[in-house]
Chains A and B, each alone.
Chain A
């Protein structure tokens, strides 16, 4: 089984420096693309590979790039941004790539920047990743000294500057237009679309924002081709995927596996199954803003379409397992507390609705809830759902709530009947 992204990442071993990275074929994709491919050929190759964005939305990466104006009169500078914010609760996959092989990301970014002919690129890194910040800083310096960044890279005529921006918190920064506002030194509120960032993004210039894992796939696609990348997947989706499992399992962690492994394989094989004394009750398959799946879904393949068909989303592919000793109402209250706190306050349904949802769940937990609370919660899953808010934060927040009400309704009702939490 091939693991292109994590082949040279070993827990406990330091990340490769430039020399080590080059010795294992590093930057050969940059040499190949800048030396013998046009930017549009790189775009086409990535489009053909059917690489889908690993940040959660799953949009075809090559297609996303193709919306950037490429003619000689295109506005300049154009920007390529790596979204390394990774603020979704339960998600820790990009950390592995950032700390394990920063040069791989930088190479992917150079290739992406070349494909859209970007002049400037940023790595937008979450503040908590201190080790990653140190390594990226060091690697950027090495790459610059070796001529992979800066003016006229490898004599190709293509120039690119790359900077690291460490954030100062807030989940909203992961939303691509809010991220742009944060980079511009503003509050991280989302922007209206259209115009899409590809046309008018950072400082009003054409901008592409890609996830860390997405960008790390690019050097391997350039080196090995679209057909190879497609053959890595276990399902209709191409490539490998970084999957993670956290919760009361024997071996929580993050692994690169063929796209489309089943939830069962992930939880039972890689995560070592549930800890003794605990049963699996529910799973958020792709982070805090994805619908619950249950034990009956264990044979669902973890790819974009299969998880959607099962009623949830692949999201980031890092799952949170809820065991039978954890109260689903308390679990969902924790999530809604997070979303209410992280709402940027821009639109009314989200700003006002999420705190109300949080309060109702707290009432239920404290034994002060009534049947009407459950009805109102159900109502909010629609009122704060898609189409009623400015961005996807509140609809994302409603996903675990609506599915908890569907699969664990008995637990909600017990809180009312017993006037308290049955889980103690």
Chain B
């Protein structure tokens, strides 16, 4: 099954690449420099793919099909290989995301400490569910498997900021920082 899926994926990506105009897929100078820095530490170019995805996502917010192709070309590997990696890791975003990412921990300690009440409140405040982006494009809400903050559950992270012992009352104050 996996092999078949991979083949289908490969075909799709390759078909799509045909329609791109040359020039649309270019990496910027800054992106290429940062990727070069990583390549220099590794035995071959292809090994830098995760770093390349992180770098491009840092500048563009998410990884588009065009970005996949651009990275593939630059690392001299196939677009399918890049996409197989990009779709594996949950923090590489293959869809557009909002300006800020809210990661709400839904793991066991946070379950015991009722992260569900936080999720319900966030849904009401932002009018979005897990996997969705708010209408003003400010927040994307995602579930996250354990933030390693189990002694201060429930926990959530917005961008690089960790919030511990979160209560429903705290949410307005937290969200305000990002609006």
User: Which one of B54, B85, B106 contacts A186 once the chains associate, using CB atoms below 8 Å?
Assistant: B85
User: Which one of B46, B107, B157 contacts A334 once the chains associate, using CB atoms below 8 Å?
Assistant: B107
| Interface range for A | 35 or more
B126 within 8 A of A: no
A341 contacts B148, C-beta separation under 8 Å: no
Contact A170-B108, Cβ < 8 Å, known A92-B151, A203-B43: no
User: Which one of A168, A246, A318, A346 contacts B92 once the chains associate, using CB atoms below 8 Å?
Assistant: A168
A130 contacts B162, C-beta separation under 8 Å: yes
Which residues of the other chain, A, contact B92 by a CB distance below 8 angstroms? 168
B109 contacts A320, C-beta separation under 8 Å: yes
A91 within 8 A of B: yes
Contact A254-B47, Cβ < 8 Å, known A89-B109, A334-B108: no
Which residues of the other chain, A, contact B162 by a CB distance below 8 angstroms? 128, 130
Which residues of the other chain, A, contact B43 by a CB distance below 8 angstroms? 203
Which residues of the other chain, A, contact B72 by a CB distance below 8 angstroms? none
User: Which one of B50, B113, B148 contacts A92 once the chains associate, using CB atoms below 8 Å?
Assistant: B148
Contact A334-B89, Cβ < 8 Å, known A130-B160, A253-B151, A345-B2: no
B82 CB to nearest A CB, Å: 10
- Determine the distance from Cα of A246 to Cα of B46 in the docked complex, in whole angstroms: 41
Which residues of the other chain, B, contact A169 by a CB distance below 8 angstroms? 89-91, 145
A168 contacts B151, C-beta separation under 8 Å: no
B50 contacts A168, C-beta separation under 8 Å: yes
Closest to A133 in B: B160
| Interface range for B | 35 or more
Which residues of the other chain, A, contact B91 by a CB distance below 8 angstroms? 127, 168-169
A248 contacts B160, C-beta separation under 8 Å: no
Which residues of A are interface residues toward B (Cβ below 8 A)?
86-92, 95, 126-130, 163, 166-171, 182, 184-188, 203, 244-248, 252-254, 284, 288, 318, 320-323, 326, 330-331, 334-335, 337-338, 341-342, 344-346, 348, 351
29 A-B pairs in the complex with CB atoms less than 8 angstroms apart: A87-B146, A89-B145, A89-B150, A90-B109, A90-B146, A92-B148, A92-B150, A92-B151, A127-B91, A128-B103, A128-B157, A168-B50, A169-B91, A171-B145, A185-B49, A188-B88, A246-B150, A248-B113, A323-B112, A330-B111, A331-B111, A334-B106, A334-B107, A335-B108, A337-B106, A338-B146, A342-B145, A351-B1, A351-B2
